Structure 1
Amino acid sequence: MLGEQPFRILSGAIHYFRVVPQYWEDRLLKLKACGFNTVETYVPWNLHEANEGQFNFVGMADLEKFTQLAGELGLYVIVRPSPYICAEWEFGGLPAWLLADPGMRLRCHHKPFLDKIDAYFDDLIPRLTPFLSTKGGPIIAMQIENEYGSYGNDKAYLNHLKQALIERGVDVLLFTSDGPEDFMLQGGMVEGVWETVNFGSRSAEGFAKLLEYQPDQPLMCMEYWNGWFDHWGEQHHTRDAADVAKVLDDMLAANASVNFYMFHGGTNFGFYSGANYPDKLQPTITSYDYDSPLSESGDLTEKYHAVREVIGKYTDLGPLELPAPIAKKSYGTVNMTGQAKLLASLDGLSSPIQSVCPEPMEQFGQNYGFIMYTTHLSGPRPASRLNLQEVHDRAHIFIDGKFKGIIERADKEHDIVFDVPAGGVELTILVENMGRINYGPQMKDAKGITEGVRHGLQFLFDWTVRPLPLDDLSKLNFDSVDGESEKNQPSFYLGEFTVDEPADTFLSMKGWTKGVAYINGFNLGRYWEIAPQETLYIPGPLLRKGNNEIVVFELHGCESPSVSLQDYPVLNKQQ
């Protein structure tokens, strides 16, 4: 019921934090034009409180503006402000600084964890209460935790979250969402809170299981997985539009409500893509296209039209009215004219810290990016294996500045063996954080070197540590591009190009190996040659008339120091 009237929720997920604010209206209007009456969004704690006690709700983090805009456009809003959101988002939305406390326990009734949540909610929830439907606003429901039954069974924790919302003035419908399995529903349900289920198919089975635990209540699929996300090294996931439409039709015929996860996926800009760990680390790609009804860049897909046709069977939609198309342009090839080698640029990027042990980055107040550890190893020593115990996630090993090899978390067997001459050597280890695990039992995922480094049997102590969050590249000094640059020497490359009219474009990284790309100082995200993503989406609002600047941080080397800006994406190398 909405007020005194029966109301079927037809919702689609659009995450404000994965879309530039200038395009929120475009995406929301396309949602409404497809026949939906509600938009759903998670709220990522780590975006809003990246550093403890410092809150950010501006730009892409302006949740209040997004909520207000949705209401002005005639849409209701479902907000999922759980401390944990999963979402293939870094650390499932939890802030990295929680891990600075080695004793921190996550997603349970652990007082230090609850205290952090309460401090966050003290700032967050008052921003949302003016928009509650009970006050005439668009927010009709809020989630208290996310798929908790897949993780744990701490009812005291769930009830603390429930009361945290109620005590801060949330008086709209509260809900939980879980998979339609016995242990998930048993672990995730809270007395007095509406339960919903998440699935991608077999809706009759899913709803039947829900009714066993929650009879005589409205049915809702809170996450209808109409597409799926991608990991590096996989092929891009797709799902047939007719199949998606058929499952939706089944749900609507059963008088259920539904939320499409995702309706529009958007982009994991910066270092915010997460990772999974079923048996090894599987980092998520930068694109969050998700094979949704709207593509990563907001284009209508076959799935959009198939979904609209089904919704039209149950409600009168009228003619399809869409906002004006967003232009896409190719700006051609950009030659990189400047280069700054990482090992020669450290003083402009960080300050050295002395540490007995090579501690994880969270111990140095660092959230994302890279971290470098350097120590002197005395000699002479016979050839012995270098052991990182253990590395999260991918380490470049240098001996006296010369590249020696890679040690990866996912592949602990390696052949980095070296002897040490009488004068000793300088050992440098550059570790990349490829995204904290966002789902499952491995979530307590500190980054960097988590225990220690051994040469043979001996632990090595006395380290110089340099946090490299790479959030400010303004102090880099670029020289001309070194045509004979040594392979596997990480370097920053600078290129410039001129724009007459800003439009959406796609940065092709074909011929490059692995790294991070920036446009006008904005971190577009990671790239990697291993597929499926070959281009990075650049929304037009990130460009400016006149001169624009691209910086690429390349870890291994490129075929040619140039990139191209094209008017179409490549999300699967077989395209």
Structure 2
Amino acid sequence: MRAFDTAGNNFVLNGNPIRLISGAIHYFRVVPEYWKDRLQKLKACGFNTVETYVPWNLHEPEEGQFVFDGMADIVRFIETAGELGLHVIVRPSPYICAEWEFGGMPGWLLANSDIRLRCMDQAFLDKVDAYYDVLLPKLKPLQITNGGPIIAMQIENEYGSYGNDVEYLTYLKTGMEKRGIDVLLFTSDGPDDSMLQGGMVPGVLETVNFGSRAAESFDKLREYQPDKPVMCMEYWNGWFDHWREEHHTRGAQDVAQVLQDMLDQDASVNFYMFHGGTNFGYYNGANHSHEYEPTITSYDYDSPLSENGELTKKYEAVRDVIRKFTGKEPECELPQPLPKRSYGEVRLSEKASLFEQLEQLSKPVKRTCPDPMEKLGQSLGFILYSCHVSGPRPEMQLTIQDVHDRALVFLDGEYIGVVERWNPKSIPVRIPAGGAKLDILVENMGRINYGPYLKDYKGITEGVRLNNQFLFGWTIYPLPLTGSDTGALTYQSVTDEKQNGPTFYRGTFEAHEAADTFIRLDGWVKGNIYINGFHLGRYWEAGPQKTLYIPGPLLKQGLNEIVIFELHQTDNTVVSLVDTPDLG
């Protein structure tokens, strides 16, 4: 028997029964300087285990180029958890969902139009194997079988919600074992017949994911797995938010009661999430059931720890249940609260027009058709399509056929409208006798992370028409706009004249102490924020999110830079740095 294993209806650790009380903390949603703080708070709440996904696209952003430092230093995160005496559950599936861009898969997979995702397609499996050849050797020495804190690892994630290719799941299992993974392996699915039938692997522990009705969910799992321990691998004690919706909340006592119900069922549990964190940069995902719904920058999740790591009423209620269940106080004391500061108003006094500085930001390519990002080797950010339209033409309807996801349209430099994936309207245009230049700036607002529409190309995926005539002959500018490229811009002073078109604004502020703060953007419309070159994420007046969290480690004592890429316009280039979040 392994050091951690199953024995009948129990988990056992070194021969002794153990109940796992676990919480999800995603290292990739928390700045590394705060990993220990969040993990200490987990243990101080009475938890004995931390769980994390592993996003493939973070670790291999470009094919064959691997990243395992900074926020991607998974080894350091696991070691930190181990130093605190926490067990670790790792979920390194090729697909993780997680409300994360493309469910964690890298966008460059879609450069191959024929690739089939999450099944026994050799083109897909070859890419997974190359990734696992690099990732899994880093995790191997951290397993409990080698004296490390990892006690279990997941094969695939909620696969029964997507497919039923057991051969594919078995391939992943075998591939993990061949690369030295010898801890307990498991799968996780919804407590539903079709999901369990599609997602289970013979001989592999199955777990279930749900937010309520614990007894009913575990009864269904026991129908399929009567001789194994039961575990809720994702206890949805909160929920995530989409843009243009209200902020989701759930009562603390309700969450505590469902936890009690699970413990009464002799079950183990993993809180999803214990601490949500932030979808920094472009890494938010999107859902698509009836229409495309992108996730906001905050991943607060209404979890026991807030986005900026503060204890909530839910934390206190959960801690009380665990204390009563274990009959003892947590073994870890809470760390000192992290400082928050209100730095006041910051005026962004310089600007740089996107259209005037395209050559500093992008190398254009010529294409017959307005190809999507993936065909140009781009995964994230924006992409600009330009072409000349001959004239004269009386009023015609400009249609962007299947835009993913939001397009700003300009004719001879003048903004004429927006086309959104969830509102695919046509725009009436008139072309003068000498013709006109058509510019279309498209934003990737996050690839779909769950369901049957994962193959989510970005940009203009089919074509552009005037009435029924397709337009050909395009100059395309890939614009990843990661933050490092904004330093190449040439800025000029902001004037009273309103800016026409997408614009970068820059300002600075002094910080005598680098502390957590929140940037408020009243009067701004939509865009992205960069703090000292770090891409913080997206903002949008559509809400619900009204502030973006700036972790203190992103700041420095002395002068700090804010760059905002505003897609529309603002009447007052001022932001506020406040000490209180506003998620709507």
Give the TM-score category using the shorter length. Answer: over 0.9
Q: Do the aligned residues in 2 keep the contact of 1:339 with 1:482 (CA within 8 Å)?
A: no
2:168 pairs with 1:168:
no
1:411 alignment partner, one of 409, 415, 423: 423
Whole-angstrom CA distance in 1 between matches of 2:257 and 2:376: 51
Whole-angstrom CA distance in 2 between matches of 1:360 and 1:48: 23
SS in 1 for 2:13: coil
1:370-519 equivalence runs, <5 A: 370-414=382-426, 416-471=427-482, 472-486=485-499, 489-519=501-531
2:220 alignment partner, one of 194, 206, 209: 209
Aligned-pair CA distance for 1:298: 0.2
SS in 1 for 2:307: coil
Aligned-pair CA distance for 1:482: 2.9
1:50-129 equivalence runs, <5 A: 50-129=61-140
CA deviations over 1:162-209 (Å, ceiling 9, x no partner): 001111111110000000000000000001110000000000000000
Instruction: Specify the alignment match of 1:523 in structure 2.
Output: 535
Instruction: Specify the alignment match of 1:325 in structure 2.
Output: 337
Aligned-pair CA distance for 1:459: 0.9
CA deviations over 1:450-472 (Å, ceiling 9, x no partner): 01111111111110000000022
- Aligned amino acid, residue 46 of structure 2: G
Instruction: Specify the alignment match of 1:534 in structure 2.
Output: 546
Instruction: Specify the alignment match of 2:237 in structure 1.
Output: 226
Whole-angstrom CA distance in 2 between matches of 1:549 and 1:560: 18
Whole-angstrom CA distance in 2 between matches of 1:198 and 1:341: 47
Q: Do the aligned residues in 2 keep the contact of 1:398 with 1:404 (CA within 8 Å)?
A: yes
SS in 2 for 1:474: helix
CA deviations over 1:42-67 (Å, ceiling 9, x no partner): 00000000000000000000000000
Instruction: Specify the alignment match of 1:185 in structure 2.
Output: 196
Aligned-pair CA distance for 1:442: 0.9
Alignment length (residue pairs): 570
Aligned-pair CA distance for 1:486: 3.8
Q: Do the aligned residues in 1 keep the contact of 2:397 with 2:429 (CA within 8 Å)?
A: yes
Aligned-pair CA distance for 1:336: 0.7
- Aligned amino acid, residue 264 of structure 2: A
Whole-angstrom CA distance in 1 between matches of 2:499 and 2:125: 50
1:157 alignment partner, one of 140, 162, 168: 168
Instruction: Specify the alignment match of 2:50 in structure 1.
Output: 39
SS in 1 for 2:571: coil
SS in 1 for 2:28: helix
2:273 pairs with 1:262:
yes
Instruction: Specify the alignment match of 2:7 in structure 1.
Output: none
Whole-angstrom CA distance in 2 between matches of 1:423 and 1:146: 56
Whole-angstrom CA distance in 2 between matches of 1:517 and 1:537: 11
Instruction: Specify the alignment match of 1:195 in structure 2.
Output: 206
**Greater shift in the superposed pair: 478-487 or 289-298:** 478-487
Structure 1 stretches of 4+ moved >3 Å: none
- Normalising by structure 1, what TM-score? 0.98
Instruction: Specify the alignment match of 1:366 in structure 2.
Output: 378
Aligned-pair CA distance for 1:314: 1.6
Whole-angstrom CA distance in 2 between matches of 1:419 and 1:543: 49
Aligned-pair CA distance for 1:382: 2.2
Q: Do the aligned residues in 2 keep the contact of 1:234 with 1:531 (CA within 8 Å)?
A: yes
Aligned-pair CA distance for 1:7: 1.2
- Aligned amino acid, residue 187 of structure 2: T
CA deviations over 1:479-521 (Å, ceiling 9, x no partner): 111322145x110000100111100000111111100001000
Whole-angstrom CA distance in 1 between matches of 2:13 and 2:457: 44
**Unaligned residue ranges in structure 1 (runs of 5+):** none
CA deviations over 1:213-243 (Å, ceiling 9, x no partner): 1112101000000000000011110000000
CA deviations over 1:256-280 (Å, ceiling 9, x no partner): 0000000000000000000011111
SS in 1 for 2:119: coil
Whole-angstrom CA distance in 1 between matches of 2:117 and 2:272: 25
CA RMSD between the two structures = 0.9
Q: Do the aligned residues in 1 keep the contact of 2:397 with 2:466 (CA within 8 Å)?
A: yes
CA deviations over 1:16-47 (Å, ceiling 9, x no partner): 00000000000000000000000000000000
Whole-angstrom CA distance in 2 between matches of 1:317 and 1:531: 43
CA deviations over 1:421-474 (Å, ceiling 9, x no partner): 221111110001100000001110010000111111111111000000002211
Whole-angstrom CA distance in 1 between matches of 2:328 and 2:558: 43
Whole-angstrom CA distance in 2 between matches of 1:408 and 1:279: 15
- Aligned amino acid, residue 527 of structure 1: Y
1:207-356 equivalence runs, <5 A: 207-318=218-329, 321-356=333-368
Q: Do the aligned residues in 1 keep the contact of 2:513 with 2:557 (CA within 8 Å)?
A: yes
Q: Do the aligned residues in 2 keep the contact of 1:380 with 1:423 (CA within 8 Å)?
A: yes
Q: Do the aligned residues in 1 keep the contact of 2:386 with 2:438 (CA within 8 Å)?
A: yes
Aligned-pair CA distance for 1:321: 2.0
Instruction: Specify the alignment match of 1:24 in structure 2.
Output: 35
SS in 1 for 2:460: strand
User: Identity rate of aligned residues, in percent?
Assistant: 65
2:583 pairs with 1:571:
yes
Q: Do the aligned residues in 1 keep the contact of 2:403 with 2:421 (CA within 8 Å)?
A: yes
Whole-angstrom CA distance in 1 between matches of 2:536 and 2:74: 21
Whole-angstrom CA distance in 2 between matches of 1:462 and 1:97: 24
SS in 2 for 1:441: coil
SS in 2 for 1:452: strand
Whole-angstrom CA distance in 1 between matches of 2:263 and 2:380: 42
Whole-angstrom CA distance in 2 between matches of 1:439 and 1:352: 33
- Aligned amino acid, residue 482 of structure 1: T
Q: Do the aligned residues in 1 keep the contact of 2:498 with 2:571 (CA within 8 Å)?
A: no
1:144 alignment partner, one of 132, 148, 155: 155
Whole-angstrom CA distance in 2 between matches of 1:116 and 1:2: 35
Whole-angstrom CA distance in 1 between matches of 2:432 and 2:545: 43
